[in-house]
Structure 1
Amino acid sequence: MDNDIVPGLLETINKEFDQRTFSSAKLKSALQVLQSKKATYIDVNKYSVEVGEILADVLGANVTAELLPDGRMYFNIANRVINETLQKNYDLITGYASDVQTQLNHSANIHMRAQVPDLNQDRVDGIVNRVSSEADFDKIKWLLNEPIVTFSQSIVDDVLQSNVEFQAKSGLRPKITRRVVGKACKWCSSLAGSYDYFDKPEEIYQRHERCRCTVEYNPGSGRRQNVWSKKWVDPQRDAKIEARKQLNIKKKTRAPSE
């Protein structure tokens, strides 16, 4: 059954998605900001929302009850269509986010590779299971709209979280900032603010549907913390001090000239 419609459906979805993303003014603007080396996680979030909205529009236009057998999104159809399209979103968004993270690291004099987390398959499976659980697709088709955008934003949150945690464990002192966008709910408003890594709320990376709040962070100035003494250390400053110490030792141990 799915062999009759899935290949053709995916071909149409991928073609329209590629055309829309290629011609998107918002995505072109995001790439220009990246090229100017001024991109932040605010830009990454905007990028993810645009990619998510494009996919949601394309899915909404092409996945219809009239097309589906018995008007139902059977599991074997949902599993292939949703996994392939969300994987594509993941690849695009993590690619852009990784480039932005690399620039942020360089600007902060942090010589670390950008961390890219694996695709959150549990989230993908959750959408697949929910959309295939209803006999009438029209009653559940909303799951291929806003939840797709939320999923796309969650990819950014995962990338940011991976890099923040990696740098904090490496002794750096990243600062996380969550900002509300538009008329935020009480829960989102309570999370807004800037936090040191070890003082952040547990829910800092969480979001509800239609939430456009942004999470960003400043990797700091390249100063590293000694995880035992909790004192912050500047690697370059320490290297210079150590070099001077070694020079003084050599001077002291050098035999006096006759």
Structure 2
Amino acid sequence: MAIDIVPELLENIQRDFNTAINRNKKIQSIQKMIENGTATYREANEYAVEVGQELAKVFKKHIKSDVLPDGKMYYNIAERILNPTLSNNHVIVARVATEIQNQLNKSIGLGLKGIEPSVNQLRIESIINRITQEEVFDDVSWILQEPIVNFTQSVVDDTIKANVEFQGESGLSPQIVRTAHGNPTCDWCRSIAGVYKYPNTPADVFKRHDRCRCIVEYNPGEARKQDIWTKEWR
């Protein structure tokens, strides 16, 4: 009877990931900024990159052809490992990004709670499907590296998108700022960089290619206005 490798493999991945997150100095620094109320979406993006890189490192350490049956990543193994680990990354980063959104809302007197996006299950499934196509896992192991970071970064982008759309539908005029970042930056990233006011926001603003480190930020602007006659704020 074949041995089920998933329980032990998943336990080792989760253990080492949690240890790495707790020891990561950059993550600790950003956590302090969040607690102090000084973090922005720029820090949220940096946080996501760190979380994604830590998971990618753990995957590289534990998942190799020689530990998989026949050296292949079968669907039932990929699904049981990637669904919980990537969903966990989503929860961790979405919680941080939403807390930052709450603080930004509060900073301009906006009495709205941040919207936490749903996990992008389609992206998880696309990673699972892609990684199970090759007969030898090592030939496709790169899928568990930069694409994992990209997936984790997208949680921040999804948080911004959800909150901008919600505020826009609430009658506000939120702004999105996308800054090209990298050395060098590609032509596409430079072309999409800029400041956009909802609803005039192209869908590409929230997209990113592998190894893209562009920064997508929410600009709260000024949500509160004072009536010059009654002196009341609205």
TM range (shorter): over 0.9
Instruction: Find the aligned partners of 1:113 and 1:239 in 2 and give their Cα distance.
Output: 29
Structure 1 residues 77, 35: closer, same or farther in 2, change over 3 A? same
> Residue 83 of structure 2 corresponds to which residue in structure 1?
83
Amino acid at match of 1:191: I
Shift of 1:33: 1.1
| RMSD of equivalent CA atoms | 1.8
How high is the TM-score relative to the length of structure 2? 0.95
Shift of 1:4: 1.7
> Residue 166 of structure 2 corresponds to which residue in structure 1?
166
Instruction: Find the aligned partners of 1:128 and 1:209 in 2 and give their Cα distance.
Output: 17
Instruction: Find the aligned partners of 2:162 and 2:232 in 1 and give their Cα distance.
Output: 32
Instruction: Find the aligned partners of 1:105 and 1:114 in 2 and give their Cα distance.
Output: 8
- The CA deviation string for residues 15-65 of structure 1, in whole angstroms up to 9 with x for no partner, is 000000001001001111112211110000000000000000000110010
Report SS of the residue matched to 2:65: coil
Shift of 1:2: 7.9
> Residue 248 of structure 1 corresponds to which residue in structure 2?
none
Calculate percent identity across the aligned residue pairs: 44
Shift of 1:237: 2.7
Q: Which runs of 4+ in 1 moved over 4 A?
A: none
Shift of 1:14: 0.4
Instruction: Find the aligned partners of 2:62 and 2:39 in 1 and give their Cα distance.
Output: 34
1:126-165 paired onto structure 2 within 5 Å: 126-165=126-165
Shift of 1:222: 1.4
1:104-253 paired onto structure 2 within 5 Å: 104-182=104-182, 183-223=184-224, 234=225, 236-237=226-227, 240=230
Instruction: Find the aligned partners of 1:240 and 1:213 in 2 and give their Cα distance.
Output: 44
Instruction: Please identify the structure whose Cα radius of gyration is greater.
Output: 1
Instruction: Find the aligned partners of 1:21 and 1:242 in 2 and give their Cα distance.
Output: 46
> Residue 13 of structure 2 corresponds to which residue in structure 1?
13
Report SS of the residue matched to 1:199: coil
Shift of 1:70: 0.1
> Residue 68 of structure 2 corresponds to which residue in structure 1?
68
1:25-36 paired onto structure 2 within 5 Å: 25-36=25-36
Report SS of the residue matched to 1:195: strand
Task: Tell me if structure 2 keeps the 8 A contact 1:178–1:193.
Answer: yes
How high is the TM-score relative to the length of structure 1? 0.86
